[in-house]
Amino acid sequence: MDRETRIDVDAEYIIRHRETAKEDSLEVKGLECVWHWDDSTRDAAEYWAVADWIAQTYGNTIDWFSIKSWTGSPRKERGLTL
């Protein structure tokens, strides 16, 4: 059985734009992350969810990024009420 937890991740990060060399301090909220208990730590799953999102969002338009902080909270399951 695959043990996993779905997590919402919020993060603060810095990026440096390649064209202008300008640095921006930004935040993202509510990234969905799935932590597979047997594959890695929860911290690693949350960190890589943010890093992957930054890479997909900005692509090759930034020189570098730094994740300053992140927090994760298990997602609340929205079941049907009868």
- Structural tokens at position 52: 């992957």
Write down the pLDDT at residue 80: 45
- Structural tokens at position 18: 């390649």
pTM of the entire predicted model = 0.88
CB under 8 Å to 24, separation ≥6 — which residues?
Answer: 14, 15, 17
Q: What's the pLDDT band for 2 if we cut at 50, 70, 90?
A: confident
Question: Torsion-angle region of residue 39: left (phi > 0), alpha (psi -120 to 50) or beta?
Answer: alpha
Average pLDDT over residues 29-57: 96
